[in-house]
Chain A
């Protein structure tokens, strides 16, 4: 099928647990993701929702033990990641799939020049000799807006925004099909963030890379993504394209996120925080994980775990309240 070729990632029912001596952390509980070429997916959620664990699982970067990764199917560009040996995995890491981490300050090696760090993956994956790899590394630096002369400098000679550009250069050096960006701009100032997001968007379009953008910032999602998946306590609780999730919000948690967000467009409307806290991942409630904080929760929500159900188009949400006839959320109304 032509469509099959188009898929860069197919993940079915991912579960990740961390088994510790006294407790088991259920970090990811049954997540399925499908990505096409050139698509940008926003993975949104708060601290501890399981966003990063999901991303690391795609590259099988979960430490085991204590991590236990179970998945029905995980294919990157048609290749089964689950069956791969370590050396096969090393081959796809950085070439087919690469990752940008949150903190540019700690993800570069302080004792190598930035040029060496970019050239390293080129030598390994593209079989270039030292000179060619170095030349391409300099080209990559230029591509991300850093003068090529600076390839001989060390990470400490760069500012935070510049370091993040270097990391983007490393990640894109081998033209990966899938780029996972884990909070790529969280550690940066807004004006620098705007530069980096602009750069990523440009490069992505030029190379037709698929991107998973992990973020807690719905503003970034609105500006960079095609689709969005909202995570809560290790599950996807709502997913769809931007218009569906932003303008026709279905899940009470997504609604809560929007209502607690200060919005510069809507000054002076009172923030409506979600009361309570995210549940402890070592002791998840039996029913819906959001039920204890949900304004619409009923007895059924405490007993039964909701599955994702369709709302037309690509829109899906996991909420039992929709089993009652006529239930709907009026987010548009409260926000004017």
Chain B
């Protein structure tokens, strides 16, 4: 049996808006094995961040269940959930707005330790903060610095240290490197990789950048308009993408090389349509070049096309 740490079952998150119900996450199911990294990719507005937050119940799911270590966390009381969150942490995208500007580095990192009463003794807390700063590669001289004095990469390291303070088993990384320059981005990616190996962490890595996730994830889930449309082990997804959207997405990545043969670019027509009260048809039908009658009639279900490779497309057999 696979050692499943997290199972998401028919997760839904709807928002009521003046114009109708916004289907941010619409019936998403997946599992993650312990120690693995699942990359969730998709374009802005596809519901990837909402999925991450709904899993941690930072946004209360509209429907569906989330099992963490076999426990249904969607039915836990707030008090129990608070304890559970020690094991489930999140790292946010924007290190500029996710830190309190009036707290120093050490206060910021110590906050969750004090809040959760992990350590009581002042000396012990201090020692723990120092240890965490070492772990994430923050120099001790920055202990009394404020966020505005630090660059994006260092701020993101603070965010990571804060998440690690609880000794979590599972971390949702929500676009942790999108706001950073490439040379700094590589530093943070390598740090996360190291931590994962050293501490046996399980990650959900949410990003819009497929080239980042391909370095990092064991499995990749592609989302489109609130739905999971394809999921496969990383190599498989990059080598044999099935869904027309995944193929267009992969072909759209600019490759930083000269004199190579570039794969033919699939240019999509139009843009992502509105997630408010979506019609009963394939969500991708309006932009897809293969759309046929069936696609307009019903929304396809996620099927296992080959072992471990799930796809949600009426025409998947034609693309295998």
A residues apposed to B, CB below 8 Å: 46-47, 159-162, 189-195, 197-198, 216-223, 242-243, 246-247, 256-265, 267-268, 270-275, 277
Check if B271 sits within 8 Å of A159, measured CB to CB: yes
The 7 lowest CB-CB distance pairs between A and B, nearest first, are A219-B254, A260-B186, A273-B186, A218-B256, A189-B43, A194-B252, A46-B181
Q: Within residues 270 to 317 of chain B, which ones have a CB less than 8 A from any CB in chain A?
A: 271-272
Check if B153 sits within 8 Å of A277, measured CB to CB: yes
B44 lies within 8 A of chain A by Cβ: yes
Distance in Å: Cβ of B302 to nearest Cβ of chain A: 21
Check if A193 sits within 8 Å of B250, measured CB to CB: no
Number of interface residues of B (CB under 8 A): 42
Contact of A262 (CB < 8 Å), options: B215, B254, B262: B215
Using known A-B contacts A46-B182, A242-B258, A271-B189, determine if residue A161 contacts B271 with beta carbons closer than 8 Å: yes
Q: How far is the CA of A275 from the CA of B190 in the complex (A)?
A: 12
Check if B211 sits within 8 Å of A217, measured CB to CB: no
B235 lies within 8 A of chain A by Cβ: yes
Check if A190 sits within 8 Å of B181, measured CB to CB: no
Check if A217 sits within 8 Å of B254, measured CB to CB: yes
Contact of B43 (CB < 8 Å), options: A191, A195, A274: A191
B residues apposed to A, CB below 8 Å: 43-44, 151, 153, 181-187, 189-190, 208-212, 214-215, 234-235, 238, 248-260, 262, 265, 267-268, 271-272
Using known A-B contacts A194-B265, A247-B258, determine if residue A263 contacts B183 with beta carbons closer than 8 Å: no
Residues of A within 8 Å of B268, CB to CB, are: 191, 194-195
Using known A-B contacts A194-B267, A262-B215, determine if residue A273 contacts B252 with beta carbons closer than 8 Å: no
Check if B214 sits within 8 Å of A264, measured CB to CB: yes
19 more A-B residue pairs beyond the given contacts A47-B181, A260-B185, with a C-beta to C-beta distance below 8 A: A160-B44, A189-B44, A190-B43, A190-B249, A194-B251, A198-B267, A216-B182, A219-B254, A220-B254, A222-B258, A246-B258, A260-B187, A261-B256, A262-B209, A262-B215, A267-B235, A271-B189, A271-B190, A277-B153
Contact of A273 (CB < 8 Å), options: B44, B183, B258, B265: B183
Distance in Å: Cβ of A161 to nearest Cβ of chain B: 5
